[in-house]
Every structure is written in C-alpha cells, then in structure tokens.
Amino acid sequence: MKTSRREFIKVGTAAVLGAGAVTTVGVKDAEAAAKREFSPEAVGMFYDSTKCIGCQACVISCYEINFVNRQSYINNVLAPEDQNFIVREDLIPKLAPEDQFNPDRPWLNVETNDYRFRNIIQKYVDPEDNVHFIKHQCMHCNHPECVSVCPVTALTKDPVDGVVEYNASYCIGCRYCQLACPFLIPKYEWKRAVPKIVKCDMCKSTLGANDIAGTGCTNVCPTGAVIYGKRTDLMKDAKNRIANNPGKYFADKVYGEYDNGGTDVIYLSAVDFKYLGFDERIQDFSYAEVSENLHHTIYTLGLAPIGLFLTLAVAGYINGKRNAHDTFEGVEFEDEYVPDTKTATKSKEVKNKEVKAKAEKDKGGE
Amino acid sequence: MAGHHHEYVIRRGNIFTPTFYVTTALIILAVIIVLYRYWMGMGYITNMSDGYPWGTWKSVNVSIGAAFACGGYVLAILVYIFNKYKYHHMVRSGVLVSMFGYSLAGLAVLIDVGRPWNAIYFFVPSNMQLNSALFEVALCVMAYTGVTILEFLPAVFERTSLIEKYPRFSAFSKKWYHVIEKITFLIIAIGITLPSMHQSSLGTMLIATGHKLHPLWQSNFIPLLFLITAFVMGIASIILVSMLTSKLLHRPFEKSIYGIAKLIPYATIAWIVVRIISLTTAGAWGYLFTSGILSFFVILEFLTMGIPAYIVLRTKLGRSKRGVFICSSLMVVGVCLYRLGVYLLGFNVEAGWNSYFPSFGETITTTALLLVILWGYIILIKLVPVLPNLDAKGDPRKD
Ligand code: SF4
Ligand code: SF4
Ligand code: SF4
C-alpha cells in the first residue's frame, strides 16, 4: 500500500510538471516569431504631412459619409437582399444632443478619434514655430492586433486588399480590440445601450471596394496630401519623394514600412513621428505575432490539454478506487457539533434554542 | 453502519442573519445599477474610456475573482491526483467557493460586454477565433462553471434525497448521486484541465497589448505567472475560507489547514523565481526603482509573496493559527497586486489619455458581485451538507 501510494504521488507530480514544461516551451518558441507577407493587391493610403494644410476636409467628408449619412451610403453599396439585415445592425441611432449640429458652434471641436470621427487631423507646433499636421485613422496593419484578439471574428483582414473591417453583427462588445490596438484606433459607443466599435474601414462599407470610388478622405483632399492606391505603388511614390528631396523628410523614414509589422497606410513627415502621436514604443513587429505564437505552441495541437486530461483521468480513477468511501444512504444527518461550554463559546443560535427549550420546559412545569 | 459519522454536515441555523440582509441590500442596489447600464449604456455608470477600455469588472471580478475561486482546483489536485484523501472533507466548501467565484466572473463579463447576445458566436465554428486568448478563456470559464456545478451537485442530491414528501424526487436524487459519483474521476480530470488552461490564458490575454503594458509586467512569462498565482490564491483561499468559517460560526478550528499551509512556500517561491526570470528576460530591472508608484507595487508583490514563505519555513509563527492567517492574507494581497498590475496598474497608455479610476457604479457592482460569493456561501452551507464534520479537536470524524 505504501509503495503504491508513492506511485500515485508520482503520477500527480508528472502531470503538473508536464503542464509547466509545455508552458515554458511555449515561451521559448514565441521568440522565433514569423513575419507575415503583404498581399500584392493590398490597398492603402499615403499621407505626406508636408503637403497637408490642415483644412480638415477629410474629417468632414468621413464624418458625413460614415456617420451622418451612413445609412443611405450603406444601402447604395449593398445588394437589396442584404440591406435590411446589415442596416439594422449598423444603424446610426438618433444623434445624441452633443452630436447634433449646433449653429452657435458650427465647427465640431475634435481632439481625438471617437465614435463619430474615424479620422482626425492633429496639429503639432515645433520649437521653431513651424506647424505640422498629422492625420490619424486605422493603419490597416499587416498583422493587426485587433483582428488577432477578437474572439468572435468580428474584425477581419481581407486577404486580398488588406482592409481591416468590422462586422457589428458578430461583435460581443468586449473591447479587447481597443485594449490591443497599439495606435488606439477602435472606438466604442460608450453611451449607447447597443454599442458598436467604430473604426476606419477604407470606406468599404459605405463607398464599396474599388479603386475608382477611392475613399471619403482621399477624394476631397485639395492638396493631395493623402492619396489612395495600391500599397506597392504608394510605397514607390514615397521612396521617390524621399530620393528627390534629400533632407526634407525625417530620417528618410516611411512610417508604416515596418512599424508594428508593417501597415497598409504609410506616412512621410518632416519631424520625428513621436511628436505626431505615434508612440515611440511601437516595435518593428506586431505583438499579435508574439501572443499568437505563444498561444499556438500551447494549444493549437490540442496535445497539451488532451494529454493533461488523460493523465489526470487515470490518476483520478486509480486514486478514487483506492479511496472508495461510503455513500450517504441510510445515514442520518447529525446536528452540527456543539462545542462544550467549558472549551468553547456556544454559537448564538444554539444558545437561543436552549434558552427557548428551557423556557418551554418551565412553562410546561407550571 | 451504526455509529457512522457523515463526512459533511449541514449548518443548523437561521439563514436570515444581519449579514444576509446587508449583502442582499447591496446586491439589490447593484442590480438597479446594472439595469440602468443595460437601459442607457455603460458610459453612464463607468469611468472606462477608449484609452482604458477594461475596468474593474474584468480586472477585479474576472481576473481576481477567478483566482480566489481556485480553492476547488487546488483541493481537487491534492485529493484526487496526489491522493491526499485526508483533505477530502474540505473539498465541498472549496468547490462551493469555486462555483460561485466562476459564475460571478461569468456574470461580470455579461455585464461588461456591450453586445452579450452575440455571445452565441462563440459556438459558431466559422466565428471561432483560435488566435484569441479571450476566446479560449471564455469557453473554458463557461465549461468550468458547468463542471463546478456538477462537482457540487452530489451535495445537493444528498439533501434532496431525504425529502420524504416527494418520493420520486428523492429517488431521482439518489439515482443521479450515484451516476455522478461513478464519473467523478472524469469530472475531476476536466475540472483540473480547464483551470490549468484558462488561468494561464487569463495572463496571455495581456501579451497582445504590447508596449501598453509597463515593462515591469509585460513578459512572455505572464501565462506561467498567472498559473502559479492561481495556486497561491487557491491555497490562501482554502485557508481563509476555513478559518473565517470556524471563527465566525463558532466551529472548531480545522486542523487540516496546517497541512495545506505546508504548500505555501512551494507556491510562493515558485512565483518569486519565475517573476525574477520574467523581469530579467524583459530587461526590466532598471525600472524597479525608477517607476514611482509602480515600483512600489512590484516591490510589495515580492514582499507579500516572500514573507509568507519565510514565516512558514523559518519561524514558529508558521505553525500557529495567527501565522497561517497572516500568511494567507499576505498571499491574497500579493496575488491581487500582481493580477491588478497586469490588468490595470501597469496599463500604461501614451500620455494624453485619461487615466482610470473606478466610478461609484463600478465600485458598487464590483463589490456586490464579490459579495454574492459570500451570500451564496452563507446560504448554501445552511441548506446542504458542505462544511466538514469535525470533532472538538478539529479533526474530521471518521467511523
Ligand atoms: S491600427 Fe489598430 S485597429 Fe487598425 S488594423 Fe492596426 S491594430 Fe487594427
Ligand atoms: S469589441 Fe467586438 S470587435 Fe472588438 S474584440 Fe470584442 S468582439 Fe471583437
Ligand atoms: S478611408 Fe474612409 S473611413 Fe477611413 S478615414 Fe478615410 S473617409 Fe474615413
């Protein structure tokens, strides 16, 4: 009996150690993260900060197409049989008071993207008093964190044109995409009973996916600061501008070429991008790679959990047989143990009961 | 079988105690707040923002609540896998806390997510997103909640089988009691596998946030550290639940917890070692004294984990009631700090974003969700046999 007991303890130890080992192996493998290739057909946008005059026509255009009149635009894009379903899920409810047009303050005071503005222009004044503008919207990352973390595939990256799209009819509203996006892009309708995530989808849901339609923001830009096209073409363009204007652009860097694993939207600027709202801590790889690798090593094969389960089942079965105990049948429930008055204080209930019993007895005696 | 003592007892006593009324009142208040949140939108009652999209519902109710519910998990491993049947009499109270802990974590998620009806897509194959740690956590937590209910059902059936008024119901209870008893080993195996998976994945979730999580916490070792904290918290929870029950209900002190307390150094030292490795691989030692309040939190983590190990290993205090109580309380603080650190304190969005502090509504609902665990515990121990049957010395009664 004694030796076999030890055996069981060994089984248990092996099971626990196994689980630990698998986790550690996962940690190791994650370091060898693989890079993902861009689709040759990927579309994107190219924003040259030095050309932007800060007119914010793009902001208003996007606001008009994707927020105020979204419903009618969606209906133009969709086949009639799809219209009702999608529209019901993607409806813009009655505008909240703060969203309505205010004739006293016709200009909307926008500081950051929110559920109304998928795209904004921010201003940075450098120490020499030069003004720089920057346009912020979804970067359409090549290995997007938001898609990687969404548990129900409400966010997807189109394998051909690379657009990262959102489908409200799947979304559970967990906001994990917001937590994970390094550019802080997905926004949430906090003050709605039926909230959605809102982010730029290159106007695919409103203008449709084709080169001719372009996007709301690129179509209206008066200076061509932001343009739409295939990523490969845009990248060539950006490299040419750098080559033709030595010293004009910061560090001759095309932002988005490698940042966060590469993005479909690329930027040029005259100043360091950290002043333009891009976090310095953003790496050359996407954290989606790291977490996916780690997670896959542990689970995709399903071996670790299945192995663990089987070991546990066997150990539990053997131990259970060894320690078979009586079942309850035929056993009366006892009152709970009442401590001795000398060694412990009585529980209140017990005391009360006793007092009552005594009182009743006294009554009966009279 | 004359003279046979049952392993568990029903606590005799009135359910409607002052504690019951206070907790119930708070729970009702929370229900009103939650209804308001469903009616108006969660922005009206929470302080979460686009920069801090996860608040106390996830960081406290899910991440810490699920850790506190690990008592059942630790006991199942000890008893059924390591063959320590001498702790068998504690299993039911462990499972009861697990059952409520996990159900309430699940409920917190339902309150937290904006479109809970879409949760059906967790079960639609084309929508399952295997890359997402949250997908796995969600499925495992749902499944494990079911498993804890299965694990707890025998206690209920024991009680219902004694209801003589409805003989068919009583026969039904007896029958199913035996069915569950027969497959206990399978239930237990699932019940250990699932927490081993999702407790680590609770940590994996935050790896994808990359630079937003402070380097003092961001590391590839988060999953392993979360798994270890599950053990640490599980041990502390077994001890605290038993001690507080004994104290508050004037029951004899349960001696077996000294045995459980022997595990404290293993778990806490394992945590400290892995935490040191994680800080080293992340190259974060430089931040340890330079990050203001965050440094303080990390140092406190080490202290709250290190002191219990020291007390149990090196001092006499470790073999006293007081010592065990102090150790467990410190461990609870340590685990809460670490898990909060990963979910909230170390979450470090770039400048210009509002920081987060829970609102009144969040505080009330978070507290109420935790109190439901206590509420369920004090009710169920008076209805079904959960508490161990102890003799005056605090040893479980045997035949
Ligand atoms: S910028 Fe953010 S929201 Fe856009 S694709 Fe990248 S991770 Fe997703
Ligand atoms: S909030 Fe919606 S889109 Fe974002 S991760 Fe959750 S389910 Fe996916
Ligand atoms: S591409 Fe469309 S959705 Fe995106 S910022 Fe431009 S106008 Fe807005």
Domains, chain A, ranges and CATH? 1-35+287-366 (no CATH), 38-284 (3.30.70.20)
Evaluate whether A26 touches B223 at the Cβ level (below 8 Å): yes
Residue position matching structure tokens 């080490």: B302
Domain assignment present for B399: no
- The single-letter DSSP state of residue A116 is S
Subunit contact A347:B1, Cβ cutoff 8 A: no
Q: Is residue B279 part of a domain?
A: yes
Q: In degrees, to the nearest 5, what angle opens at C-alpha A171 toward C-alphas A170 and A172?
A: 115
Residue A24, pLDDT score: 43
Joined tokens for residue A218 = 């690129």
Local confidence band at B14 (pLDDT 50, 70, 90 cut-offs) = confident
Mean pLDDT of A226-242: 94
The CB-side HSE value for A107 (13 A sphere, CA atoms) comes to 6
pLDDT at A359 over 80: no
Q: How confident is the model at residue A25 (pLDDT cuts 50, 70, 90)?
A: very low
> If you ran DSSP here, which 8-state letter would residue B142 be given?
H
Assess if residue B142 is contained within a domain: yes
CB contact under 8 A, B192 and A312: yes
Q: Which domain holds residue B371?
A: 13-387
Question: Could you read off the pLDDT of B216-272 as tens digits, one per residue?
Answer: 999 989 999 999 999 999 999 999 999 999 888 888 888 888 999 999 999 999 999
CA distance B217 to chain A (A): 15
CA distance A237 to chain B (A): 31
B332 to B194, B235, B301: CA distances (angstroms) = 22, 10, 10
Residue B303: pLDDT band with limits 50, 70, 90: very high
Helix, strand, coil percentages (3-state) for chain A, rounded to 5, are 40, 10, 45
Q: How far apart are CA A16 and CA B104, in angstroms?
A: 27
Query: What is the Cα Rg of chain B in Å?
Result: 22
Q: Report whether residue A234 contacts ligand 3, using a CB cutoff of 6 Å.
A: no
Q: How many domains does chain B have?
A: 1
Give domain status of residue B5, yes or no. no
Ligand 1 atom with least separation from CA of A286: 7
In a domain, B7, yes or no: no
Of B53, B200, B210, nearest to A175 by CB-CB distance is B53
- From CA B168, how far away is CA B186, in angstroms rounded? 28
Cα–Cα distance for residue pair A226/A203, rounded to 1 Å: 14
Of B59, B35, B39, the closest CA to residue B47 belongs to: B59
Q: How far, CA to CA in Å, does B168 sit from each of A327, A329, B156, B160, B384?
A: 20, 16, 16, 11, 19
Q: Residue B106's domain is classified under what CATH number?
A: 1.20.1630.10
Question: Given ligand 3 and candidates A45, A52, A117, A137, which is best to mutate, with the most ligand atoms within 8 Å of its CB?
Answer: A137
Local confidence band at A202 (pLDDT 50, 70, 90 cut-offs) = very high
* Distance separating alpha carbons of residues A5 and B272, to the nearest angstrom: 31
ipTM, 2 dp: 0.91
Q: What is the pTM of this model?
A: 0.86
DSSP per residue, B107-122: HHHHHHSS-GGGGGGG
Q: Examine residue B6 and state whether it is found in any structural domain, yes or no.
A: no
In a domain, B396, yes or no: no
Is residue B239 situated within a structural domain? Answer: yes
Residues 208-267 of chain B with CB under 8 A from chain A are 208-212, 220-221, 223-224, 227, 249-252
Side-chain-side CA neighbours of A282 within 13 Å: the count stands at 26
CA distance A233 to chain B (A): 30
Per DSSP, which regions of A222-329 are E strands? 226-230, 266-268
Q: What percent of chain B has pLDDT over 70?
A: 97
Strand A155-157 versus strand A131-136 pairing type: unpaired
